[in-house]
Amino acid sequence: MWLALFGYVVALIVFFKVVSDGKNKKKAFNLTAISLVCIHSILLISLGLNDSAASLKKVGFEVWVCGKQVQVADNSPTGRIFRDGGYFSEKMLNVNNDVEQLRLGAELKAAGLSYTDTAVTIPISNSFELKVSGDSSLDWLSESLKYPTKTNQPSLVLEDSNLVCPSGDIGRWNVFIAKVDNKAKKYSWQKVSLTELGATLVRASDGDDLPDCLVMDYGAVKETPEFRCADILKNDAKRCPETDKSTCLYEEVRT
């Protein structure tokens, strides 16, 4: 961007010098004008790319069904500079927003997940669709595989008390949010209902520190999370998998 800006200034100086000299005014004017337009376009594209990258933030996001982690569809934008709304990628909800505190329900719906007070529709990856439809060990999940008419995206549609897990437990939605305090290097878990998702605020991160994380777990009713976000586990002072735990600085606080 700075190189383009420098070129823009140089072109302006050359423009005024050539015009002031009074030689070949028309030709000089046309060439300089074209150069200015090209440089100006490069500047605008560069600024747009920088703005898009600067505003992209992430919130941790994982879905588990009866102890099985769901591969959520990666609907990252391709070949586009700008993107309204959010999208899912590897264990993350990505949001193109400069606001640090985000309304979780709105961002989930913008990214393609839909929910009611008792049910959730989760877009899944094509590879996970093949597992559900072709793996005999996942027969219990196949009836939940749907193709919503609006998107035709393979999805799991799971409603409270509408599925019995292989363990015999009647499935219900447990929703947990890890609230992270990066200054104190601490985090705590908050349980919310599907009804409360719309008003729930989470803190997103641009990558400099740990974001809050959402875990949606369909299975037996739980008061504390059984499954924890990968990013948080990697930084948990007690649970991180590293032999040298000196870099694992975050501590879970019970509330």
pLDDT (0 to 100) of residue 97: 75
The ranges of the chain with pLDDT < 50 are 1-2, 4-5, 43-54, 79-83
In the DSSP assignment, the letter for residue 96 is: E
pTM: 0.76
The per-residue pLDDT for range 148-193, each reduced to its tens digit, is: 988 889 999 999 999 999 999 999 999 999 999 999 999 999 999 9
> With pLDDT > 90 as the criterion, what percentage of the chain qualifies?
56
In the DSSP assignment, the letter for residue 147 is: -
What CA–CA distance (Å, rounded) separates 219 from 212?
Answer: 22
What CA–CA distance (Å, rounded) separates 145 from 155?
Answer: 6
What CA–CA distance (Å, rounded) separates 196 from 65?
Answer: 20
- Supply the DSSP string of 51-91, one letter for each residue: HHHHHEEEEEEEEEETTEE--B------S-S--SS-EEETT
What CA–CA distance (Å, rounded) separates 110 from 77?
Answer: 13
The answer to whether 25 and 53 are in contact (CB under 8 A) is no
What CA–CA distance (Å, rounded) separates 135 from 86?
Answer: 31
The answer to whether 182 and 203 are in contact (CB under 8 A) is no
pLDDT (0 to 100) of residue 80: 44
Angle among Cα 205, 211, 216 to the nearest 5 degrees reads 130
Smallest CA-to-CA distance from 66 within 188, 201, 158, 199 is with 158
The per-residue pLDDT for range 183-203, each reduced to its tens digit, is: 999 999 999 999 999 999 999
* Residue extents of the structural domains in the chain: 2-53, 56-252
What CA–CA distance (Å, rounded) separates 179 from 211?
Answer: 8
In the DSSP assignment, the letter for residue 169 is: P
pLDDT (0 to 100) of residue 84: 53
